[in-house]
Amino acid sequence: MNTAELLVRCLENEGVEYIFGVPGEENLQVLQALKTSSIQFITTRHEQGAAFMADVYGRLTGKAGVCLSTLGPGATNLITGVADANLDRAPLVAITGQVGTDRMHIESHQYLDLVSMFAPVTKWNTQIVRPSNTPEIVRKAFKLAQSEKPGAVHIDLPENIADMDAVGQPLHRDSQEKTYASLQSIQQAVVAISQATNPVILVGNGAIRARASESVTEFATRLNIPVANTFMGKGVIPYTHPLALWTFGLQQRDYISCALERADLVIAVGYDLVEYSPKRWNPDGNLPILHINATQAEIDSSYIPRIEVLGDISDSLNEILKRVSHQRRLDSGTAKLRQEIEEDYAQYSDDYGFPVKPQKLIYDLRQVLRADDILISDVGAHKMWIARNYHCQRPNTCIISNGFAAMGIAIPGALAAKLVNPSRQVIAATGDGGFMMNCQELETARRLGAAFVTLIFNDGGYGLIEWKQMNHYGESAFVHFTNPDFVKLAGSMGLKGYRVESTEDLLPTLKEALEQNVPTVIDCPVDYRENLLFTQKTEDLACLT
């Protein structure tokens, strides 16, 4: 048995189902070992796509997704998806090939110090230099990747080490026991909540990772406290719940700003600063904050909790709930705010202007997708509209790259989502800019039989940057481009392609596309004049008292 074979046995021991990657000379031994493994190797068309697949796999399952590249350009291609997983708290293990240790001291073909390069975008990384250390390195990698806060780790394997004889066995996978909050912090939280007149719950992705959706919903319901979620916290509380104030996280003021301006206590549950800077919603640091999470709060002048309840989130919420002696009445301001939010959302249901308004496009998406279906959002102007207007009944049914906000994630992410949940419908929502960054992975999807829908918000440019330019300078520059015929491009890959010619066509086209047994592409012109209109609307927003 050589080191590569021992590595694969250790990966099997960790329960790895898939490795996403691109073959290369310096990972030949690993690929050979995978030929007789239970692990399925997914050959992708680009290493960035492989890393994004592992990223979304980790976020949906809570188990580390694994991606593989060769050295040099393969590794540099991989790094964007690795960084995305690390900042979006998705467990991921990246494995790179490397030159032999006999070449590292000199200038050598395709050699880069990958351990140094990956260090800033991972929780931990190392190089295997002794075959016998492989089991310890793999076990440590998965333990760190999957422990709170989860993230990316990196293992570098030189080709001469990979081919050396190895002796060893995979290590036992130790279970990670829950930790529980101190009674003192629970009692302090009870006092703070009991004394608050207008508390608001801000819930983040940590509550999803902790599988705390039911506990958060019960906590909010019994105490009559309104709830807003981050982009990555969608579905923790069903959007149809009367206490749900939907999503916060936009740079502009929005309806949730009104709730925060009235709040005398912010209960941050599973909230991570990387999801949305507290300087946006608490610029002066004056709002009292109750931090409920598995880990301590990060240091930020706008986020200094009065109380930290650290431990299993569900247990903490349940213990607080047992001790709060009264249920507050829902104040009229919250009820009015909820009504305003619903009216704003519904006003586009019958808007048939063309090109399609982003609000209408997303409204129809919600109509066609079931509660447990999955939407993967790319990054761009459409992401901001999805974040604001696409609402979820259940956790992990809308995946948004937010910590790193990396363009190109939607198509590879949708492929991973379909592998994890083959019975669910999956849509990759992307701009035309993001689509062209990783559209090659549609061939991978076709090869694997992963039938999902790619919906292109087509405006012929980098719409989000143009939105920013218009806000700052009143004009745009360098953001427009031309596109291929997306329908013909889909057909050339053996996919089904559609072009939306009128807004009335949108809903039936979405329904037909979702019924296909091959990946489909929908080209939909979008009216991004709504971007600046929304900016003006938020500037004029007046909060009801």
pLDDT (tens digit, 9 = 90+) per residue, 462-484?
999 998 999 889 999 999 999 99
pLDDT at residue 542 is higher than 80: no
Rounded mean pLDDT, 302-316: 97
pLDDT at residue 332 is higher than 80: no
pLDDT confidence bin for 330, thresholds 50/70/90: confident
pLDDT at residue 405 is higher than 80: yes
pLDDT confidence bin for 545, thresholds 50/70/90: low
pLDDT at residue 539 is higher than 90: no
Rounded mean pLDDT, 377-398: 96
Which pLDDT does position 106 carry in this prediction?
73
Which pLDDT does position 110 carry in this prediction?
76
Which pLDDT does position 109 carry in this prediction?
78
> Of 101-105, 153-157, 359-363, which range is least confident?
101-105
* 353 phi/psi in degrees, rounded to 5: -65, 150
The residue whose two tokens read 């143009």 is 466
Q: Which fold has domain 3-162?
A: Rossmann fold (3.40.50)
Rounded mean pLDDT, 358-384: 97
Which pLDDT does position 72 carry in this prediction?
95
CATH 3.20.20.70 for the 347-537 domain, yes or no: no
Which pLDDT does position 335 carry in this prediction?
85
CA distance 390 to 252: 17
pLDDT at residue 111 is higher than 90: no
Rounded mean pLDDT, 23-34: 95
pLDDT at residue 366 is higher than 60: yes
Report in angstroms the alpha-carbon separations of 203 from 212, 223, 248.
10, 15, 10
Segments of the chain assigned to CATH 3.40.50.1220 = 183-331
Please provide the size of the chain in residues. Answer: 545
CA distance 305 to 309: 10
- Positive or negative: CA dihedral 7, 9, 15, 17: positive
List pLDDT tens digits, range 335-351. Answer: 888 999 999 999 999 99
> Of 310-314, 430-434, 530-534, which range is least confident?
530-534
Segments of the chain assigned to CATH 3.40.50.970 = 3-162, 347-537
Sheet containing strand 426-431, edge to edge, reads 398-400, 374-377, 426-431, 453-458, 520-525, 496-499
CA distance 144 to 229: 27
Q: Which of 203, 174, 208 is nearest to 269 (CA)?
A: 203
CATH class of 183-331: alpha beta
Chain-centre distance of CA 9, in angstroms? 29
Q: Which of 153, 130, 121, 156 is nearest to 140 (CA)?
A: 153
For the chain, what is the mean pLDDT? 94
Could you tell me which residue, 284 or 545, shows the higher pLDDT? 284
pLDDT at residue 544 is higher than 70: no
Which H or E run includes 430?
Answer: strand 426-431
